[in-house]
């Protein structure tokens, strides 16, 4: 018997399951109900399957599957079995997947049945021993094998600092880094948010986010799981489906693009949102126009918060207090956030500087990158977010920019360096610069500015087609512009601000 309490995140969820285990935990868009018993038993079956594979203690379970209740159950099963969950965006193509699998060396890979051929080839050649499939229609070898297992499982004992998940987040050098999150990182953040956002009896979460990033997998799902609340699961964000399901929901979370799309719908009004308690936005800046129009149309004030893969949630507008558009709110309880100048000294009120954070939510480090990890922390243990902002006199934080070269498109992060390296390897290209330009739907649109050799006939469509065959579709530039030279400063650095200005009004 272990004397210390079990810090496994699943044990925390289990302790908060509703008394009535036959109540609905997940309702799918096509009318299926998964009770809390179903979730507990199905995750036990999968956990038993994982446990039977005789994996090393810190085995990574890499998962690239479409959203479904079973995908969430697989996440829970991984926690229960004490392994490390590694979710991957379904848009990733072979080169991206090869990198993640080679870098993380997962013991198990789970992919969509239609991708088994190419994903298993990458996985087996990287030394992964087990590849299962999981479809979004309750098919796949994972479920066939799990069906033979017992539906009870003693959640494996974990200490707070044990790893629960690795989330790859792109790096400024173009190579992704795996952010290692512990059971305590996730549990502490979920507990704080449950209280801060006033999760309550009767809440129903309309879950439209993908399950492979912090927002959909942790912030949204954890909130409902910890509160014993039902989730209405949509396979993806679809405006019509959200309008259909909203009248039965009380909580909704989304990236700004979701809100832009909702307010574009004439039928989106107060009546439709009558039962709603809370709309939360994050992952990218919410324009004040969207914030204001949303309030006029629905009578609801969107609560904007700020997070990162490395830190989960760190700052949030209050539930009871004033929610101020254009700000991300106040540091969460127990989380210390500061804004500092280049020399590390604190900024005054309203002075712009680098945002740094310390607290139980902050990750353990980058997977197998101790030097990179050390670089990203200050001597007194603060994590450098790479975001730039300022605190106002009331303590509200505004994010005004980023010191990292990052584009956020529809809530997905795109690192220019990665796209530039793909464009630069093309025959006929001299060099390129990738920038983000304002976009009405995605917030920022990935845009490339390219210098070609004089004797090449390379055009926009050819570059886009080339990229589409190699990288995730959301990273592919919406437009390609051609120039003779890239503007550079005296140090030889490309002046992306000049390019952003030059092309901002181009259609």
Environment class of 152 (CB within 10 Å of its CB; exposed 0-12, middle 13-18, buried 19+):
exposed
Q: Does 411 bind ligand MCA (CB under 6 A)?
A: yes
Q: Is 465 helix (H, G, I), strand (E, B) or coil?
A: helix
- Tokens read off for 159: 């200490």
**Could you say which of 131, 156, 284, 302 contacts ligand AMP (CB under 6 A)?**
284
Task: Return the DSSP state at 413.
Answer: E
**Residue 255 Cβ, how far from ligand AMP at the closest point, in Å?**
9
Residue 245's binding partner out of ligand AMP, ligand MCA, none, with CB under 5 to 8 Å set by partner kind: none
For CA atoms 462, 465, 470, 475, the dihedral sign is positive
Strand (E) or helix (H) holding 308: strand 303-308
Q: Does 215 bind ligand MCA (CB under 6 A)?
A: yes
73 within 8 A of 143, measured Cβ to Cβ: no
> What is d(CA 467, CA 505) in angstroms, rounded to the nearest whole number?
24
- Rounded to 5 degrees, what are φ and ψ at 342? -55, -30
**Could you say which of 64, 78, 90, 169 contacts ligand AMP (CB under 6 A)?**
169
Q: Pick the stretch among 69-77, 212-220, 240-248, 338-346 that binds ligand MCA (CB under 6 A).
A: 212-220
- For residues 254 to 273, the per-residue mask of contacts with ligand MCA, x marking binding by CB under 6 A and - elsewhere, is -x-x----------------
Closest CB to ligand AMP among 157 and 402? 402
Residue 285's binding partner out of ligand AMP, ligand MCA, none, with CB under 5 to 8 Å set by partner kind: ligand AMP
Cβ neighbours for 332, distance < 8 A, ≥ 6 positions apart: 189, 192, 193, 196, 313, 314, 315, 316, 359, 361
**Residue 386 Cβ, how far from ligand AMP at the closest point, in Å?**
6
Q: Does 213 bind ligand MCA (CB under 6 A)?
A: yes
Q: Does 302 bind ligand AMP (CB under 6 A)?
A: no
> What is d(CA 102, CA 176) in angstroms, rounded to the nearest whole number?
12
- Positions in 465-494 near ligand MCA (CB under 6 A): 473-474
Q: Does 221 bind ligand MCA (CB under 6 A)?
A: no
Q: Does 10 bind ligand MCA (CB under 6 A)?
A: no
Residue 411's binding partner out of ligand AMP, ligand MCA, none, with CB under 5 to 8 Å set by partner kind: ligand MCA
Q: Between 36-52 and 69-81, two packed helices, what is the crossing angle to 10 degrees?
A: 50
Closest CB to ligand MCA among 130 and 305? 305
Strand (E) or helix (H) holding 461: helix 460-468
**Residue 28 Cβ, how far from ligand AMP at the closest point, in Å?**
26
Q: Does 285 bind ligand AMP (CB under 6 A)?
A: yes
Q: Is 196 helix (H, G, I), strand (E, B) or coil?
A: helix
Closest CB to ligand AMP among 135 and 329? 329
Q: Does 412 bind ligand MCA (CB under 6 A)?
A: yes
Residue 304's binding partner out of ligand MCA, ligand AMP, none, with CB under 5 to 8 Å set by partner kind: ligand AMP
Q: Does 387 bind ligand AMP (CB under 6 A)?
A: yes
Q: Does 285 bind ligand MCA (CB under 6 A)?
A: no
For CA atoms 358, 364, 365, 366, the dihedral sign is negative
> What is d(CA 362, CA 310) in angstroms, rounded to the nearest whole number?
6
**Residue 258 Cβ, how far from ligand MCA at the closest point, in Å?**
7
**Neighbour-count burial for 207-232, b at 16+ CB within 10 Å, e otherwise:** bbbbbbbbbbbbbbbbbbbbbbbbbb
Q: Does 327 bind ligand MCA (CB under 6 A)?
A: no
- In Å, how far are 82, 238, 243 from 33, measured between CA atoms? 27, 20, 20
Tell me which residues touch ligand AMP (CB under 6 A).
Answer: 169, 214, 282-285, 304, 306-309, 328, 385-387, 399, 402, 408, 413
Tell me which residues touch ligand MCA (CB under 6 A).
Answer: 209-210, 213-216, 236-237, 255, 257, 282-283, 307-309, 409-412, 442, 473-474
């Amino acid at each position: 018997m272990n004397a210390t309490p079990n810090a496994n995140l699943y044990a925390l969820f289990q302790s908060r399951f509703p008394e009535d285990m036959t109540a609905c935990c997940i309702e799918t868009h096509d009318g299926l109900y998964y009770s809390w018993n179903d979730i507990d038993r199905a995750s036990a079956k999968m956990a038993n399957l994982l446990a039977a594979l005789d994996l090393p203690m810190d085995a990574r379970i890499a998962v690239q599957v479409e959203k479904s209740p079973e995908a969430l159950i697989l996440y829970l099963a991984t926690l229960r079995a004490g392994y490390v969950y590694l979710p991957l965006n379904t848009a990733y193509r072979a080169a991206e997947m090869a990198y993640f699998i080679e870098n993380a060396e997962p013991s198990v890979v789970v992919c969509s049945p239609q991708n088994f051929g190419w994903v298993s080839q990458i996985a087996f050649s990287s030394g992964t021993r087990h590849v299962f499939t999981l479809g979004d229609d309750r098919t796949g070898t994972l479920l066939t094998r799990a069906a033979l297992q017992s539906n009870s499982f003693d959640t494996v004992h974990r200490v707070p600092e044990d790893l629960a998940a690795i989330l790859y987040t792109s790096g400024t050098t173009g190579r992704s880094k795996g952010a290692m999150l512990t059971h305590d990182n996730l549990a502490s953040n979920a507990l704080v948010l449950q209280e801060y956002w006033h999760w309550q009896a009767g809440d129903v979460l309309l879950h439209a986010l993908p399950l492979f990033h912090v927002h959909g997998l942790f912030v949204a799902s954890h909130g409902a799981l910890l509160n014993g609340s039902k989730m209405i699961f949509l396979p993806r964000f679809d405006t019509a489906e959200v309008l259909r399901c909203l009248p039965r929901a009380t909580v909704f979370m989304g990236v700004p693009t979701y809100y832009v799309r909702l307010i574009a719908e004439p039928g989106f009004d107060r009546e439709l949102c009558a039962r709603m308690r809370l709309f939360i936005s994050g992952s990218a800046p919410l324009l004040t126009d969207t914030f204001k129009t949303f309030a006029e149309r629905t009578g609801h004030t969107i609560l904007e918060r700020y997070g990162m893969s490395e830190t989960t949630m760190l700052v949030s507008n209050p539930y009871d207090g004033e929610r101020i558009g254009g700000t991300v709110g106040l540091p969460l309880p127990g989380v210390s956030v500061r804004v500092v100048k280049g020399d590390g000294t604190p900024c005054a009120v309203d002075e712009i500087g680098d945002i740094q954070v310390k607290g139980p939510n902050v990750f353990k480090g980058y997977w197998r990158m101790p030097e990179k990890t050390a670089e990203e922390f200050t001597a007194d243990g603060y994590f450098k977010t790479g975001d730039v902002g300022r605190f106002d006199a009331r303590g509200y934080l505004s994010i005004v920019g980023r010191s990292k070269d990052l584009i956020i498109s529809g809530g997905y992060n795109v690192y220019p360096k990665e796209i530039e390296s793909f464009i630069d390897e093309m025959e006929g290209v001299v060099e390129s610069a990738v920038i983000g330009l304002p976009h009405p739907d995605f917030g920022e649109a990935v845009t490339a500015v390219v210098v070609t050799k004089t004797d090449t006939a390379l055009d926009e469509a050819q570059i886009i087609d080339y990229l589409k065959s190699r990288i995730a579709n959301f990273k592919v530039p919406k437009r390609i512009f051609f120039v003779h030279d890239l503007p550079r400063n005296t140090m030889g650095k490309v002046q992306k601000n000049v390019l952003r200005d030059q092309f901002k009004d181009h259609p």
